[in-house]
């Protein structure tokens, strides 16, 4: 699992994804085991990163179960890994890392 997540992180960083974080949610009640979050440079960069991930990961057997797209964000469901690609403004707005940190704290209480 960690190797797959690291491979995705490396691919995102290869194409200028910024502040790429891997969050282990396997010990929480969250519906996936890993969440990967990357900041993109623009809405076009967000789409380009999605295309690059598909190009590189599908031949390795990675299944893109669902992809949801907004103006400045994309969420990719890979089954047990969720990838969030978003512009800096959207990343600051939604603060997914804080939501997941709170979820993890609540589980450990």
Q: What is the CATH number of the domain that holds 81?
A: 3.30.460.10
Number of domains in the chain: 1
Bridge partners (DSSP) listed for residue 69: 74
Bridge partners (DSSP) listed for residue 38: 85
The C-alpha atoms of residue 55 and residue 29 are separated, in whole angstroms, by 31
Strand duo 34-40 + 66-69: pairing: unpaired
State which residues form the domain around 10. Answer: 2-108
Residues in the chain: 109
DSSP letter (8 states) at residue 84: E
pLDDT in tens, the chain (109 residues): 999 999 999 999 999 999 999 999 998 889 999 999 999 999 999 999 999 999 999 999 999 999 999 989 999 999 999 999 999 999 999 999 999 988 888 766 4
The answer to whether residues 38 and 18 touch, using CB atoms and an 8 Å cutoff, is: yes
Q: Dihedral, CA atoms, 102, 46, 3, 57, nearest 10 degrees?
A: 140
Helix, strand, coil distribution of the chain in percent, nearest 5:
45, 30, 25
Q: Look up the pTM and report it.
A: 0.94
């Amino acid at each position: 699992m960690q190797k797959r997540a690291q491979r995705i992180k490396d691919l995102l960083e290869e194409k200028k994804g910024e502040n790429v974080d891997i969050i282990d949610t396997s010990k929480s009640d969250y519906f996936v085991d890993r969440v990967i979050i990357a900041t993109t440079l623009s809405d076009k960069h967000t789409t380009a990163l999605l295309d690059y991930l598909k190009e590189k990961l599908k031949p390795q057997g990675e299944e893109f179960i669902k992809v949801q797209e907004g103006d400045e964000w994309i969420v990719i469901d890979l089954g047990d890994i969720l990838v969030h690609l978003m512009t800096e403004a959207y990343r600051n707005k939604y603060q997914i890392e804080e939501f997941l940190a709170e979820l993890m704290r609540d589980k450990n209480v």
